[in-house]
């Protein structure tokens, strides 16, 4: 039996010589990390459950969400982690270091064929070096710190073959935006995707990072690149080890092989609200902007900063526009200083901050306000993700050109005079609904009945379910009041939900962040279960590990379901019945692992 790249890596870290899609295996994790906001909850899970640390030398904290220490709640979480680290001999990459996933590569901790879990939903960025990286929730990471392993379901693999030469004006960010345009947010949901072709072989380290970082936005488990000689030399130098590149077998069995002509790719921009809603840059040209952002794990590398500096040199940011630049790591920051890029940025009127995640994590520079229009190199532009304004996603070159022009444009079409602002009405202030809620201890029935909230939407992401401005909350009883308050049309869900309700929705529920709160917020409201056509990979794990019932279905055709119908759900058989009309469809029952964890009340029970 032959194996794909991800199958090889997982088999090498399990007791199995061979693995295949659908196998559920225990995977040894070479590195187990937690970030600043997630780290405090990991510590809480470790302490509350009396757990020990399997191997402190493989265990790390990375403080990248709020490296300025500008928020009191983040500061408390960071100090909680520092105290725990001192007591247990755990290394911290503190607020002066940069983005954790990048640091793992630069520190030689992650390399071709290695395995890593962190609380960062973009840990699959490590696919850039042919490593297996996964973002997981707080409970998962606590269990990994304790056992050194996590259970994992081997995904199916898809192979992408790229033909042709990359157009000169198409950047790595444009490549991934073209792929998002082709595949959307859920076509690749749950798959491991491998990249091949001459144009792929020529991608630099930084370019691979840009593409791999947005696998999460496609719903993929990971986007995997086989390392070239340059990347292997880098990993060997950083790790101090002689490494053997891990490759897929030539005759490996793929779920699908897709041919792509890269010569058809064009510079693209994602419109606000959905990373996969990408259009030709010309479709949104002349859109007036208030701010611009260059950074994040997707585009905070030295090549990204060089591309921006090339455009900004000798020019000024447009009047009234704020350009914020955040390098991915302190090493990148220092390299930009040595190459004179920092002076270019300052001369152009940009704000340069210390290394970290920046606005993407809501804890540093890069947030925008109500009514503000931002063009950003980030990986997400979900409503509310980078603030209250609207966010377009683009390459560093397009962002820099737009900052100079005062509107969205391309590097070859920067006007001699920038667009200036005209007076407009002040944006209103939004008032949030809130209601205290208290949790209840539940039994674990295999059959439930309840009123259904039938939400006919795909891609309901974790910011819509539980917004990142509430991430510092650790008391589950306080979370319910914020459930769905960022989902348009369901802002009053927490007020109107009744104990015993069931949420039923469509594809890719829970895409986005690794936050556990997006699961836990339903519990104090008494919501019995969430049923969806498919779930985001991290959300699925979080729910299963918390013993919160989730179930999938292939089709509801014939159920004749209406909002607030009463339904019956059998987790053991997968049957979903409409009690109003007696009609039944077959959903997908719990797996043995899910049923075991559910019946015992959670992964720690």
Q: Is 192 found in the same domain as 73?
A: yes
Number of other residues whose CB lies within 10 A of the CB of residue 259? 10
CA distance 84 to 82: 5
CA distance 457 to 343: 47
Query: Of 243, 264, 285, which marks where a domain is finished?
Result: 264
Name residue, tokens 């041919």: 259
Would the pLDDT of 342 be above 60?
Answer: yes
In 3D space, the residue among 24, 55, 45, 65 whose CA is nearest the CA of residue 367 turns out to be 65
**Can you spell out the DSSP letters for 300-338?**
-SHHHHHHHHHHHTT--PPTT-EEEE--SBHHHHHHHHH
Q: Is 588 found in the same domain as 489?
A: yes
Three-class DSSP labels, 249-285:
CCCCCCCEEEEEEHHHCCCEEECCCCCCCEEEHHHHC
Span 178-226, pLDDT tens digits:
999 999 999 999 999 999 999 999 999 999 999 999 999 999 999 999 9
Q: Is 158 found in the same domain as 232?
A: yes
Quote the number of domains for the chain: 3
Say if CB 567 and CB 529 are below 8 A apart.
no
Q: Is 371 found in the same domain as 250?
A: no
In 15-71, alpha helices (H): 36-48
Asked whether residue 9 is domain-assigned, the answer is: yes
Asked whether residue 441 is domain-assigned, the answer is: no
CATH code, 174 = 3.30.499.10
Average pLDDT, the chain: 93
Query: Of 248, 264, 280, which marks where a domain is finished?
Result: 264
Name residue, tokens 């042919």: 130
Q: Is 284 found in the same domain as 248?
A: no
Q: Is 514 found in the same domain as 365?
A: no
Say if CB 3 and CB 11 are below 8 A apart.
yes
Say if CB 121 and CB 511 are below 8 A apart.
no
Count Cβ neighbours within 10 Å for each residue of 348-365 and write b for 16 or more, e otherwise. bbbbbbbbbbbbbbbbbb
The structure tokens listed for 274 are 């959905």
Q: Is 227 found in the same domain as 90?
A: yes
Span 136-172, pLDDT tens digits:
999 999 999 999 999 999 999 999 999 999 999 999 9
Asked whether residue 423 is domain-assigned, the answer is: no
CATH code, 552 = 3.20.19.10
Strand partners for 392 = 375
Q: Is 492 found in the same domain as 381?
A: no
At 427 the pLDDT is: 39
CA distance 396 to 308: 6
Q: For residue 77, how far is the Cα from the chain centroid?
A: 21
Q: Is 511 found in the same domain as 593?
A: yes
In 91-132, alpha helices (H): 100-106
Would the pLDDT of 484 be above 50?
Answer: yes
Q: Is 224 found in the same domain as 150?
A: yes
Region 480-490: mean pLDDT is 96
- Residue 527: C-alpha distances to residues 108, 530, 562 (Å): 44, 8, 18
Query: Of 232, 249, 264, which marks where a domain is finished?
Result: 264
Asked whether residue 429 is domain-assigned, the answer is: no
Asked whether residue 428 is domain-assigned, the answer is: no
CA distance 450 to 501: 5
The structure tokens listed for 51 are 């757990």
Q: Is 155 found in the same domain as 28?
A: yes
Asked whether residue 403 is domain-assigned, the answer is: yes
pTM check: above 0.95:
no
DSSP 3-state of 418: coil
Asked whether residue 536 is domain-assigned, the answer is: yes
Which structural domain range is residue 167 located in? 5-264
Q: Is 242 found in the same domain as 166?
A: yes
Asked whether residue 433 is domain-assigned, the answer is: no
CA distance 545 to 471: 19
Span 549-562, pLDDT tens digits:
999 999 999 999 99
Would the pLDDT of 298 be above 60?
Answer: yes
């Amino acid at each position: 039996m032959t194996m794909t790249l991800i199958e090889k890596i997982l088999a090498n870290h399990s007791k199995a010589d061979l693995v295949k899609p659908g196998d559920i295996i225990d995977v040894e994790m070479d590195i187990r990390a937690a970030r600043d906001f997630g780290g405090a909850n990991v510590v809480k899970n470790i302490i509350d459950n009396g757990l020990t640390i399997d191997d402190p030398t493989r265990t790390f904290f990375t403080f990248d969400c709020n490296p300025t220490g500008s928020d009191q709640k983040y500061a408390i979480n960071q100090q909680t982690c520092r105290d725990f680290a001192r007591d247990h001999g755990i290394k911290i990459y503190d607020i002066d270091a940069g983005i954790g996933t990048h640091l793992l590569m630069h520190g030689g901790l992650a390399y071709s064929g290695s395995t890593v879990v962190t609380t960062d939903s973009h840990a699959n960025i490590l696919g850039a070096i042919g490593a297996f990286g996964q973002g997981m929730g707080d409970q998962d990471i606590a269990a990994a710190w304790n056992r050194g392993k996590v259970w994992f379901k081997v995904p199916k693999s898809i192979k992408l073959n790229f033909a042709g030469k990359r157009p000169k004006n198409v950047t790595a960010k444009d490549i991934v935006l073209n792929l998002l345009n082709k595949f959307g947010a859920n076509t690749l949901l749950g798959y491991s995707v491998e990249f091949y072709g001459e144009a792929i072989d020529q991608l630099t380290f930084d370019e691979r990072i840009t593409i791999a970082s947005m696998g999460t936005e496609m719903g993929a488990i990971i986007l995997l690149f086989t390392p070239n000689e340059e990347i292997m030399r880098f990993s060997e130098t950083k790790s101090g080890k002689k490494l053997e590149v891990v490759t897929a077998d030539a005759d490996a069995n793929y779920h699908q092989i897709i041919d792509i002509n890269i010569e058809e790719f064009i510079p693209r921009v994602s419109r606000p609200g959905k990373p996969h809603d990408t259009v030709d840059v010309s479709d949104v040209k002349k859109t007036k902007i208030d701010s611009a952002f260059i950074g994040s794990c997707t585009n905070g590398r030295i090549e990204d900063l060089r591309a921006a500096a090339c455009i900004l040199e000798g020019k000024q940011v447009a009047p009234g526009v704020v350009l914020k630049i955040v390098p991915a790591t302190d090493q990148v920051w220092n390299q930009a200083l040595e190459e004179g890029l920092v002076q270019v940025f300052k001369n152009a009127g940009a704000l340069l901050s210390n290394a970290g995640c920046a606005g993407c994590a809501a804890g540093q520079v890069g947030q925008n306000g109500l009514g503000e229009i931002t063009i950003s190199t980030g990986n997400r532009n979900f409503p509310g993700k980078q603030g209250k304004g609207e966010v377009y996603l683009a390459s560093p070159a397009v962002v820099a050109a737009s900052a100079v022009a005062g509107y969205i444009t391309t590097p070859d079409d920067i006007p001699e005079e920038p667009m200036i602002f005209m007076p407009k009405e002040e944006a209103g202030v939004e008032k949030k609904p809130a209601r205290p809620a208290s949790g209840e201890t539940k039994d674990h029935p295999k059959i439930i009945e309840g009123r259904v909230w039938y939400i006919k939407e795909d891609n309901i992401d974790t910011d819509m379910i539980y917004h990142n401005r509430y991430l510092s909350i650790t008391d589950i009883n306080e979370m319910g009041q914020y459930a769905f308050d960022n989902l348009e049309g369901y802002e009053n869900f927490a007020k109107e939900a009744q104990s015993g309700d069931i949420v039923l929705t469509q594809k890719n529920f829970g895409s986005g962040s690794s936050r556990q709160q997006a699961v836990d917020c339903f519990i104090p409201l008494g919501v019995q279960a969430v049923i969806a056509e498919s779930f985001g990979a991290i959300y699925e794990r979080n729910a299963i590990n918390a013993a919160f019932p989730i179930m999938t279905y292939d089709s509801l055709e014939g159920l004749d379901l209406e909002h607030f119908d009463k339904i019956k759900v059998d987790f053991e058989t997968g049957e979903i019945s409409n009690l109003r009309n007696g009609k039944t469809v077959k959903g997908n029952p719990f797996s043995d692992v899910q049923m075991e964890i559910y019946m015992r009340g959670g992964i720690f029970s």
